[in-house]
Each structure stands twice: as C-alpha cells, then as structure tokens.
Amino acid sequence: MLIVKDLWIGDNFTYTLVITNTGTKTAKSVVVNDAAPNHIDFNVSGVTTTQGTVDSSSTSKNIIVNAGDILPGGTVTIKIPSTIIA
C-alpha cells in the first residue's frame, strides 16, 4: 500500500522499509544500509526494527540495521522517523 500526501519543509513522516527473504534458504547476517536523500534527515534515536539492531554508527543521513539471519519467507520491517529539511 502506498499513501502519498503533500510534505513541506519541517514536516515529519515515517519512512518504512520491508525486507523479505523470497528465497528458499536462510539469508545470513543481513545488513540494511539506507542513505537519506539530500532533503531528508533521519531521526536515528527513533528508528525501530522488528529484528536485529540499529548500528551505533548510524547518522541522520545513513541508517544501518544489522538484521541478522532472515528465514525463507521471513520479513524484517524497519521504521525510520524522518524530517523534510529543504
């Protein structure tokens, strides 16, 4: 589902990533590295993940999640609170 609304400088929103293992084998030691576009800042302290941990080297411009192993058919959802900055 995609929900789109107008966003303006200073507006907050949540950026959601859903990672699914569609293969037949376990995905081992999965690391998700997501860079913010120039006009967006990530709120690192508010990032949540359904599996794994947010890496301590994450910044307002780059989020790293160590998701660990993902079983076949398994999913990991990462929610990143974000702000439009320009």
Domain boundaries, the chain: 18-84
pLDDT tens digits for 7-32?
A: 889 999 999 999 999 999 999 999 99
Average pLDDT of the chain, as a whole number: 93
| % of the chain exceeding 90 in pLDDT | 88
- Per-residue confidence (pLDDT) for residue 68, from 0 to 100: 98
Give the whole-angstrom CA distance, residue 38 versus residue 77. Answer: 23
3-state helix/strand/coil string of 26-38: CEEEEEEEEECCC
The neighbouring-strand residues paired with 27 are 70
Reduced to 3 states (helix: H, G, I; strand: E, B; else coil), residue 46 is: helix
**CB-based contacts of 76, cutoff 8 Å, min separation 6:** 18, 19, 30, 32, 49, 50, 51, 52, 65, 67, 70
| % of the chain exceeding 70 in pLDDT | 95
pLDDT tens digits for 42-52?
A: 999 999 999 99
**CB-based contacts of 55, cutoff 8 Å, min separation 6:** 64, 65, 66
Tokens at residue 4, please? Answer: 């789109």
